[in-house]
Amino acid sequence: MIKDKNLKQAVLKVSVVLLMIVYSAVTKTAFAQSTDNDALIYRKIDLKIKQMTLEEKVGMIHANSSFTSAGVKRLNIPELVMSDGPHGVRLEHGRDWKTDNDNVNDSATYLPVGVCLASTWNPQLGYAYGSVLGSETNARGKDIILGPGINIIRTPLNGRNFEYQGEDPYLVSKMVVGYIKGVQDQGVAACVKHYLANNQEIDRGRINVLMSERALREIYLPGFKAAVKEGGVYSVMGAYNKFRGQFCTHNDYLVNKILKKEFGFKGILMSDWSAVHNTMEALWNGTDLEMGTFFSNNSYHKFFLADTVIALVRKGLVDEKLVDEKVRRILYVMYKTHKFDKRQPGALSTSQHFETARKVAEEGIVLLKNSNNILPLNKSAIKSIAVIGVNAVRHQSEGGGSSQVRTRYEITPLDGIRKLSSDAITVTYNSGYEIAKNAKASQSLIDSAVAAAKKADVAIIVGGWTHGYNNYAWSDNAYDAEGTDKPDMNMPFGQDELIEAVIKANPHTVVILMGGGAIDMMKWIDNTAAVIQAWYPGSEGGNALARILFGEVNPSGKLPMTFPKHLNESPAHVLGEYPGDSITEHYNDDIYVGYRYFDTYKVEPLFAFGHGLSYTTFSYSDMKVVAGSASATVYLTITNTGKMAGAETVQIYVKEDVSMLRRPEKELKGFQKIFLKPGENKRITITLNKEAFQYYNDIINQWVFEPGVFTIMAASSSRDIRAVKKVEIK
């Protein structure tokens, strides 16, 4: 026993430090992911495969319950366990949707949806977001999280736009890499989806998408390419639809030729759920794992990649090597993640995870309009706020289809506003409208909302889209939901009438819109002082919104898609076909997706791609562009010229002045988000490599770089160009 108090403390301190060192060494070894190089991994895999029976191999290439595929017990190969994705680990559905939910702790962090993440334009936040998901995937005992979703937002009507990351391939490519690395650094796999051209939900199970090679290369592929080549994603999910006549999941061109051969993808190409339609095609064209659900138990042997495959091999009609190749890929992912080591413990719903959710919401929520600086609200000057609208009180986490999340808590906008209003502010609530199938404006609900707005200093309407009529129903999908598209871009449930009446009653009205994207605001936008696009901002969304409303956070989100004024000005609906004739759909809009269309065809959008206001102002100065060899470097000084700290996302657009083939008016080729205190300035550098200047020439089927003069634009949005330089690049 040590008597001296100081000595005792010193010994204690040393012991604690030693313990920490030992603990971290132990955990590091225990949780270390395989550092074996691929050659060694493949040797181990081949040894395992040699010991496996055909039945065991085939067991591994198809589902054996709705979210698992079989392992081989005697060879210590565990089952592979998956979960949706993409903005939280999905609530537990057990084996074949049979679970005792009361006995499962599946309350995960509900992160802001994908389109909100993209609106942050902050790849580091993408990494933080992925880390939360990876950690919770571990905590829930899953191996693969079925996200990110990165289908290009081609039409505002797609029911799943909320899960995706915008209309621009460059932005998607930058955001997706952080997300994937964040997930996979936790020792679990991400699954990028839906490969490819699943840009609508209508007829997703059969529509045959036809697009030019140029559109494929320039618009629809880059995100997937970045996911594989830069993100090192371990799994990819094939889409439901067809592409050039063949189902995506077993599409020789997309899977074998591009994904596996050209991009060098080594991981698992799994099908979307029940997206396999043909055994031979799946065998030959690269499907590694057939997923789906059989609601009657033990019918999984009827899958396309199950008993039929065994019979075909036994009859000598198919070479077993085709099966081996699929098993090899599955085992490869198992080796590369934790499956043969000890799983990282992960954590569920920690305060740190919720903090990340809040951070993403705060940076992803977009301030669309702010006339006369009505925002931020001045807490000391305001005595009363009338909060109006169902989305102010609605929980969104469990809606939308497979992306549903059960969360420990979800702060609604009303909760957030109440929490942050000082006691001196009275906050009232009125629904103003009703969410129900075919619901129209209700005069009595509007009258009550108007009466409250009249009495209040400020009215805040929280409306927009919703996931479903019934909060949690899957079969009752509406608007932002899987399996369905929006019928039009109009505000549902009579919200136009409500907003028009409220802004008349109180000019100090802020409209907050939830949803996966553009909505028609033309009836009231000119007369509305402030509009905020909140997407579905996750568990901490209400807090994030309130902090933005009261100026504790300076908004910095920027739109990852163009908001058209009217649906019939959207390129898929003007140039292209949508939703096709239920059999075929021609993407005649080609590369003119989003702002590439609006800017080239000179159509005025309501809010441009890259638009998002701040409570401060930024100036752009001293732009310099130095040409390199098939490259250029842009230098620029950005100054915060206002009174509040804030962040600006500087966007660099490139235009080739004269080109062989027609090119868009401008294309995003670089961006940087910078945080500046009032009066502070920073000199930023953005490098543009050869890819920034190339286009895909589908006459010769090659990327081409044409030496010549390029216009380089530094911009605050695609329609707010702040500095321009022309440069000759050779």
Compute the distance between CA of residue 415 and CA of residue 429 in angstroms, rounded to an integer: 11
Q: Minimal distance in Å, beta carbon 109 to ligand BGC? A: 18
In the complex with ligand BGC, the residue whose CB is nearer, 167 or 272, is: 272
Q: Minimal distance in Å, beta carbon 455 to ligand BGC? A: 46
Q: Minimal distance in Å, beta carbon 274 to ligand BGC? A: 8
Residue closest to 571 by CA, chosen among 593, 546, 549, 596: 593
Q: Minimal distance in Å, beta carbon 191 to ligand BGC? A: 8
Residue 625: enclosing H or E segment and its boundaries? strand 618-628
The residues near 143 (Cβ < 8 Å, ≥ 6 apart) are 80, 81, 82, 137, 188, 189, 334, 337, 338, 339
Q: Minimal distance in Å, beta carbon 425 to ligand BGC? A: 42
In the complex with ligand BGC, the residue whose CB is nearer, 402 or 716, is: 402
Q: Minimal distance in Å, beta carbon 193 to ligand BGC? A: 5
In the complex with ligand BGC, the residue whose CB is nearer, 184 or 402, is: 402
Please say if 272 is a catalytic residue: yes
Compute the distance between CA of residue 617 and CA of residue 269 in angstroms, rounded to an integer: 46
In the complex with ligand BGC, the residue whose CB is nearer, 84 or 167, is: 84
Q: Are the C-beta atoms of 464 and 499 separated by less than 8 Å?
A: no
- 84 CB-side CA count, 13 A: 26
- Specify the DSSP class assigned to residue 259: I
3-state SS string over 292-318?
A: CCCCCCCCHHHCCCCHHHHHHHHCCCC
Residue 367: enclosing H or E segment and its boundaries? strand 366-370
Strand partners, 703: 696
Cis peptide before 85 (omega within 30 of 0): yes
Compute the distance between CA of residue 234 and CA of residue 115 in angstroms, rounded to an integer: 22
- SS3 state of residue 117: helix
In the complex with ligand BGC, the residue whose CB is nearer, 273 or 563, is: 273
Q: What is the dihedral of CA 89, 90, 95, 101, to 10 degrees?
A: 110
Compute the distance between CA of residue 85 and CA of residue 683 in angstroms, rounded to an integer: 38
3-state SS string over 212-246?
A: CHHHHHHHHCHHHHHHHHCCCCCEEEECCCEECCE
- Residue 574: what are its φ and ψ, rounded to 5°? -95, -55
Q: Which two tokens stand for residue 424?
A: 């001196």
Cis peptide before 492 (omega within 30 of 0): no
In the complex with ligand BGC, the residue whose CB is nearer, 85 or 579, is: 85
Compute the distance between CA of residue 139 and CA of residue 343 in angstroms, rounded to an integer: 9
Compute the distance between CA of residue 264 and CA of residue 44 in angstroms, rounded to an integer: 21
Compute the distance between CA of residue 338 and CA of residue 27 in angstroms, rounded to an integer: 13
Compute the distance between CA of residue 633 and CA of residue 627 in angstroms, rounded to an integer: 7
> Which residues would be at the binding site for ligand BGC (CB under 6 A)?
84-85, 146, 193, 272-273, 402
- Residue 626: what are its φ and ψ, rounded to 5°? -110, 120
In the complex with ligand BGC, the residue whose CB is nearer, 403 or 466, is: 403
Q: Minimal distance in Å, beta carbon 138 to ligand BGC? A: 19
Q: Which amino acid is at 50?
A: K
Q: Minimal distance in Å, beta carbon 416 to ligand BGC? A: 30
Give me the residue label for tokens 């020439």: 697
Catalytically annotated residue among 84, 272, 415, 599: 272
In the complex with ligand BGC, the residue whose CB is nearer, 402 or 570, is: 402
Q: Minimal distance in Å, beta carbon 146 to ligand BGC? A: 4
Q: Minimal distance in Å, beta carbon 84 to ligand BGC? A: 5
CA-to-CA separations, 224 to 151, 232, 342, 428, 671, in angstroms, rounded: 9, 10, 30, 47, 20
Q: Minimal distance in Å, beta carbon 236 to ligand BGC? A: 12
In the complex with ligand BGC, the residue whose CB is nearer, 80 or 647, is: 80
Cβ-closest position to ligand BGC: 402
In the complex with ligand BGC, the residue whose CB is nearer, 134 or 605, is: 134
- Specify the DSSP class assigned to residue 431: -
In the complex with ligand BGC, the residue whose CB is nearer, 108 or 502, is: 108
Q: Which two tokens stand for residue 503?
A: 């802004």
In the complex with ligand BGC, the residue whose CB is nearer, 243 or 335, is: 243
Q: Which amino acid is at 215?
A: A
Long-range Cβ contacts of 350-353 (<8 Å, 24+ apart): 350/109, 353/109, 353/132, 353/135, 353/136
* E runs forming strands in 79-223: 80-83, 144-145, 189-195, 208-210
**Which sequence positions are flagged as catalytic?**
272
